[in-house]
């Protein structure tokens, strides 16, 4: 590490940048209903705005992965700052669908650019404990969602006439604070080169390493871990609405489990190894989903907590495994993993959204168009567990796959 590199400040700035990313999910998700009323948006309009962030993210993270070694991590993160700043300001000044669409695209691309630069930055700063520090870094994603949803819940003032948040622009402006802080730190600090460049691995070696069968396997497994974590999180709230009117707070509590788990990653990873953690995570995710898909009443809370414990280690330890065991894949490898995960979630959402509609329509029968609001609500509540049970297949397959990976890596260690 170069003498003029302040890795603690760079790590803090990286965490602040990821906090902006997660706040954008937590705060903006809580404002979608308000925007539909304020700007007279249809459900289709709202869905288009929401999905923009999901394809803007993988676009930026994959493109950034190829650029980070060429232009450097500092320029990439300055770009992320500009995208975030523009996205927040455009959201505050939006007057309808177009403004919200463009602002969401900017924020989504800013989020992807942060991921593209900060993952290789963290591994370059902490070469001796990559997986552990990636866990500590990524705790700010669920952490920011907790903070964002709490901000909306406690500080959002609801207009009595319309039941929408009257001061939502102030809530969006909250994101300017960590944005300006991380932008200032990244502007003033010196950056190291990426680990791949520092170790002298050529670009041709890096691209050749991307064809390693183990890396291809990890890309495929990333599809499953990302879908299990990020897609299912969208359905937990649907299930919890059947047992509480305060689903937002309960969702915040289950997300808080992820924050604690990632914060305690060091002893866990030391004790179990990265592959051991992934194996146990897959098994816990399967158990949590099974409970969520079959439980009634307060047992749903148990399922949500077990599920949170399971998925909390997926994303950072998938990246940590690649960083530790396939270092020649470099920043491109890390960012292909992140882009693949988010892309898989966006595709799965489209597929399962249609599946969900089909289930609801089948439960309403031939007279679905004339069904009462109570019947539609009951059909939706019944469809939720079916979606969870269909998705349960994924962590079951992951459990088997990670068991094989665990014993494979253990045999390689013994052979060495």
Tens-digit pLDDT profile for residues 324-345: 999 999 989 999 999 899 888 8
Mean pLDDT of 85-113: 93
Confidence at residue 36, expressed as pLDDT on a 0 to 100 scale: 82
The residue-averaged pLDDT of 14-39 equals 85
**pLDDT grade for 145, boundaries at 50, 70 and 90:** confident
Domains of the chain: 1-200 (1.20.1250.20), 204-411 (1.20.1250.20)
pLDDT tens track for 175-210: 999 999 999 999 999 999 888 888 888 889 999 999
Residue 413 confidence (pLDDT): 76
Mean pLDDT of 159-180: 79
Under the banding of pLDDT at 50, 70 and 90, the label for residue 220 is very high
Segment 263-299, tens digit of pLDDT: 999 999 989 999 999 999 999 999 999 998 887 777 8
pLDDT number for residue 65: 85
pLDDT at 98 over 70: yes
Q: Give the per-residue pLDDT at 57.
A: 84
Q: What pLDDT does 9 receive?
A: 96
Q: What is the 3-state secondary structure (H, E, C) of the chain?
A: CCCCCCHHHHHHHHHHHHHHHHHHHHHHHHHHHHHHHHCCCCHHHHHHHHHHHHHHHHHHHHHHHHHHHHHCHHHHHHHHHHHHHHHHHHHHCCCCHHHHHHHHHHHHHHHHHHHHHHHHHHHHHCCCCHHHHHHHHHCHHHHHHHHHHHHHHHHCCECCCCCCECCHHHHHHCCHHHHHHHHHHHHHCCCCCCHHHHCCCCHHHHHHHCCCHHHHHHHHHHHHHHHHHHHHHHHHHHHHCCCCCCHHHHHHHHHHHHHHHHHCHHHHHHHHHHHHHHHHHHHHHHHHHHHHHHCCCCHHHHHHHHHHHHHCCHHHHHHHHHHHHCHHHHHHHHHHHHHHHHHHHHHHHHHHHHHHHHHHHHHHCCCHHHCCHHHHHHHHHHHHHHHHHHHCHHHHHHHHHHHHHHHHHHHHHHHC
Per-residue pLDDT at 380: 76
Identity of the highest mean pLDDT range in 31-45, 174-188, 227-241, 302-316: 174-188
Give the pLDDT score at 305: 87
Residue 404 pLDDT grade (very low, low, confident, very high; cuts 50, 70, 90)? very high
pLDDT, tens digit, for every residue of 55-83?
788 889 888 888 888 898 999 999 999 99
pLDDT of residue 80: 96
Average pLDDT over every residue of 160-189: 84
Q: Mean of the per-residue pLDDT values for the chain?
A: 86
Banded model confidence at residue 110, pLDDT cuts 50, 70, 90: very high
Tens-digit pLDDT profile for residues 382-402: 777 888 889 999 999 999 999
Question: 28 falls in which pLDDT band (50, 70, 90)?
Answer: confident
Can you give the pLDDT at residue 163?
53
pLDDT at res. 233: 72
pLDDT at res. 394: 97
Q: What is the pLDDT, as a whole number, of residue 62?
A: 86
Q: What confidence score (pLDDT) does residue 35 get?
A: 85
Q: What is the pLDDT of residue 285?
A: 95
pLDDT in tens, 228-268: 998 887 666 655 655 555 566 666 777 888 899 999 999 99
Q: How confident is the model at residue 162 (pLDDT cuts 50, 70, 90)?
A: low
pLDDT on residue 416: 58
- Quote the pLDDT of residue 3: 61
């Amino acid at each position: 590490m170069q003498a003029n590199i302040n890795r603690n400040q760079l790590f803090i700035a990286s965490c602040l940048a990821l906090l902006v990313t997660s706040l954008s999910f937590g705060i903006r998700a809580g404002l979608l209903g308000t925007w539909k009323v304020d700007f007279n948006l249809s459900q289709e309009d709202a869905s288009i705005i929401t999905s923009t962030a999901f394809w803007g993210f993988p676009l930026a993270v994959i493109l950034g992965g190829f650029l980070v070694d060429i232009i450097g991590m500092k320029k990439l993160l300055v770009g992320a700052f500009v995208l975030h700043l523009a996205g927040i300001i455009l959201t505050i000044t939006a007057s309808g669908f177009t403004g919200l669409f463009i602002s969401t695209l900017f924020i989504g691309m800013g989020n992807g650019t942060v991921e593209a630069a900060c993952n290789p930055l963290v591994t370059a700063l902490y070469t001796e404990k990559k997986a552990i520090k990636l866990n500590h870094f990524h705790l700010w994603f669920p952490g920011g969602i907790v903070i964002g949803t709490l901000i909306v819940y406690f500080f959002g003032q609801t207009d009595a006439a319309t039941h929408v948040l009257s001061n939502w622009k102030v809530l969006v402006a909250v994101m300017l604070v960590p944005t300006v802080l991380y932008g200032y730190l990244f502007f003033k600090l010196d950056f190291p080169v990426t680990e791949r460049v520092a170790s002298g691995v050529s670009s041709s070696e890096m691209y050749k390493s991307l064809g390693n069968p183990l890396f291809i396997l990890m890309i495929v497994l990333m599809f499953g871990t990302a879908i299990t974590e990020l897609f299912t999180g969208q359905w937990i709230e649907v299930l919890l609405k059947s047992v509480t009117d305060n689903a937002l707070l309960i969702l915040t509590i289950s997300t808080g489990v992820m924050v604690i788990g990632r914060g305690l990653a060091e002893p866990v990873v030391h004790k179990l190894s990265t592959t051991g953690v992934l194996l146990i995570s897959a098994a816990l995710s399967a158990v949590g989903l099974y409970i969520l898909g079959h439980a009634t009443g307060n047992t749903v809370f148990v399922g949500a907590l077990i599920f949170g414990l399971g998925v909390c280690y997926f994303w950072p330890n998938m990246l940590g495994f690649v960083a530790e065991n396939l270092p020649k894949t470099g920043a491109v490898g890390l960012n292909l993993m992140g882009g693949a995960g988010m892309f898989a979630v966006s595709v799965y959402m489209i597929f399962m959204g249609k599946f969900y509609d089909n289930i609801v329509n089948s439960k309403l029968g031939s007279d679905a168009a004339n069904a009462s609001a109570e019947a539609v609500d009951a059909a939706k509540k019944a469809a939720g567990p079916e979606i969870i049970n269909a998705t349960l297949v994924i962590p079951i397959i992951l459990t088997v796959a990670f068991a094989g990976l665990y014993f494979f890596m253990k045999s390689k260690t013994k052979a060495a």
